[in-house]
């Protein structure tokens, strides 16, 4: 299947892999972008936006689920850079009603650091949230965050805040900056850096540019490999990852979902735009003369927070959490270098920075898979990128 865009000869292995994956049906449509030393070197795409339909183009955008978390983290760290808050501030300093419930369990001791590193002990979907449509109401959802009670001792381990991360961190950005997360992103990051097509809350005029999500193909569920906790409705894993019940893919294809600000899981982006953001982060916070973050801010933001080898309370395996990003290393899609940082999303998307190799990388697609950490199709693509750079 043909690959379009910019793909230099030294990245031919990446192009061949992407074409093969498309031919085999591992993707419906997909795009890959790479910045090296602050300059774009790969911007390619292939496939279609719908089965048998229009081709994927340079301007096609994809829903990137939890890859959005890395963008949200970048927003909060810009607030830290500007002195609007500090990572060790108690959340209640900026959000006084945050511990309206749960103070007896130490909720008033939760810090910004705890939120960013998934250590605040409130990952669970609120009991009052039973329909996806409710999550489009920002004020309702932030009120529900105030109602949550810690599920373990705060700071004593991490548990992936799969969707709550967005309202927790996004509300902090709103309170200290006076702008919603999506507006802050556009005004303070996307605009200055010239990011192409990175949104949290999609303008209606851009609806035609979004590739609809396609549900995972038959046989791509976790099936027999699903953790036992996933089958227990009252487990922390199930209460965090499987609520509210319903067809998530179908909902995320609606205008309501795309217009809403979901800073944890509803971002819509081109690979090119995400790669450019992470190129700025890989270059110490400055790209093409635009300085947003200082190297010191990024150094603090990318320090490992979780204990090596300690299992995450929600997803059941170790995560190398920094402050809003997960770090690279073996068996992660964020590159093999341990100082790499970024985020992957449900369905396979990923975007990350590698400050050692000076890379900004992003991969987006619209055919969902239920594999963790982006799955092998994404890890193979990341490996092909690094092999191409090593070979050159």
Q: Report, as residue numbers or ranges, the catalytic residues.
A: 66
Give which of 327, 343, 258 is closest to 62, Cα–Cα.
258
Peptide bond preceding 244 in cis form (omega within 30 of 0): yes
8 A C-beta contact, residue 366 and residue 28 = yes
Burial 320-356 (b: 16+ CB within 10 A, else e): bbbbbbbbbeeebbbbebebbbbbbbbbbbbbbbbbe
CA 117/CA 157 separation, integer angstroms: 9
Question: CA torsion 260→264→269→273, rounded to 10°?
Answer: 130
Give 69-120 as a DSSP string. HHHHHHHHHHHHHTTS--TTSBHHHH-GGGGTTTGGGTGGG-BHHHHHTT-S
CA 213/CA 87 separation, integer angstroms: 35
């Amino acid at each position: 299947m043909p690959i379009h865009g910019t793909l230099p000869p030294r990245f031919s292995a990446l192009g061949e892999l992407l074409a093969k994956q498309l031919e085999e049906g591992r993707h419906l449509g997909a795009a890959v972008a790479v910045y090296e030393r602050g300059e774009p070197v790969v911007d390619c795409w292939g496939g279609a936006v719908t089965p048998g339909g229009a081709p994927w183009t340079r301007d096609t955008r994809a829903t990137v689920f939890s890859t959005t978390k890395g963008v949200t983290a970048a927003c909060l760290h810009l607030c830290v850079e500007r002195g609007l808050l500090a990572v060790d501030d108690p959340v209640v300093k900026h959000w006084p009603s945050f511990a309206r419930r749960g103070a007896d369990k130490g909720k008033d001791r939760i810090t910004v650091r705890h939120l960013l590193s998934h250590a605040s002990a409130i990952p669970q979907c609120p009991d009052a949230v039973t329909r996806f449509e409710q999550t489009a109401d920002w004020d309702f959802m932030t009120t529900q965050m105030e109602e949550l009670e810690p599920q373990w001792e705060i700071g004593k381990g991490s548990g992936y805040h799969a969707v709550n991360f967005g309202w927790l961190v996004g509300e902090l950005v709103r309170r200290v900056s006076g702008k919603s997360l999506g507006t802050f992103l556009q005004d303070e990051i996307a605009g200055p850096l010239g990011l192409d097509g990175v949104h949290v809350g999609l303008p209606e005029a851009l609806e035609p540019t979004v590739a609809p999500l396609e549900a995972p193909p038959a046989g791509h569920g976790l099936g027999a490999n699903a953790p036992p906790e996933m089958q227990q409705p009252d487990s922390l894993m199930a209460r965090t990852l499987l609520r509210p019940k319903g067809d998530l893919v179908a909902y995320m294809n609606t205008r309501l979902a795309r217009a809403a600000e979901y800073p944890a899981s509803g971002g819509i982006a081109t690979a090119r735009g995400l790669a450019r953001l992470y190129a700025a982060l890989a270059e110490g916070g400055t790209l093409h003369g635009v300085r947003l973050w200082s190297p010191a801010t990024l150094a603090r933001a990318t320090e490992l927070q979780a204990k090596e080898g300690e299992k995450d309370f929600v997803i059941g395996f170790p995560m190398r959490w920094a402050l809003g990003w997960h770090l690279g290393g073996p068996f992660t899609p964020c590159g093999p270098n341990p100082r790499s940082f970024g985020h992957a999303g449900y369905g396979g998307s990923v975007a990350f920075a590698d400050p050692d190799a000076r890379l900004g990388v992003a991969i987006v697609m619209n055919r969902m898979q239920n594999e963790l950490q982006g799955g092998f199709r994404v890890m193979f693509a990341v490996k092909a990128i690094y092999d191409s750079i090593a070979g050159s």
